[in-house]
Amino acid sequence: MGDVGLGAYLMVGAVLFVCGVVCMATKRNGIGILMGVELVLNGANVNFVAFSRYTSLGLDGQSTALFVVVLAAAEAAVALAIALNFYNNHLTIDVDRGNELHG
């Protein structure tokens, strides 16, 4: 059976990463930015697991990816709580409106 190879998975990871970065940069919706963060983390995870499979690094990649998944969930919970607070204070989720501290 033919093998896809490491390069193809790294490409998928790169596309996910770039999409996430662009998402974080262009979205003005706070939740949209969070989704960008998730995409970036997933791009990294794909790379971790691909290296874990195709090189002799063994299970290190999978373990790291598991930590990333768990911490990303934690991050999403806190970020969402912050977003809710932001909404309570500004009645919008547009992050461009959160410029009160700008001097």
Partner 1 sequence: MIEQMLFWVFAILTCGGAIAVVATQNVVRMAFWLVVSLGSVAALFFLLHADFLGAAQLLIYVGGTVVLLVFGVMLTASGPYTQIQTSPAEGLLGAGVGGLLLFVLVSSIGSVDWVEVSSRLPLEPSAPFVSDVRLESRAEESLVNTRSAEEKQGLIARQQGGRTVRQLGMGFLGLRPDRNLKEGGARGLAPGYFLPFEIVSIHLLVVLIGAAYLARAKRRVNAG
Q: Is 44 in the site for partner 1 (CB under 8 A)?
A: no
Site for partner 1 in 79-98 (CB under 8 A): 80-85, 87-94
User: Cβ closer to partner 1: 88 or 103?
Assistant: 88
At residue 29, the 3 state secondary structure works out as strand
| Size of residue set near partner 1 by CB under 8 A | 76
Q: Is 10 in the site for partner 1 (CB under 8 A)?
A: yes
Q: Is 33 in the site for partner 1 (CB under 8 A)?
A: no
Whole-Å CA distances, 50 to 33, 55, 63, 97: 26, 8, 12, 40
User: Cβ closer to partner 1: 1 or 102?
Assistant: 1
Q: Is 42 in the site for partner 1 (CB under 8 A)?
A: yes
Binding-site string for partner 1 from residue 52 to residue 81, where x marks contact by CB under 8 A and - marks none: xxxxxxxx--xx-xxx-xxxxxx-xxx-xx
**Token pair for residue 22?**
């662009």
At residue 58, the 3 state secondary structure works out as coil
Q: Is 101 in the site for partner 1 (CB under 8 A)?
A: no
CB 13, CB 81: distance < 8 Å: no
φ/ψ bin of 102: left (φ > 0), alpha (ψ from -120 to 50), beta (otherwise): beta
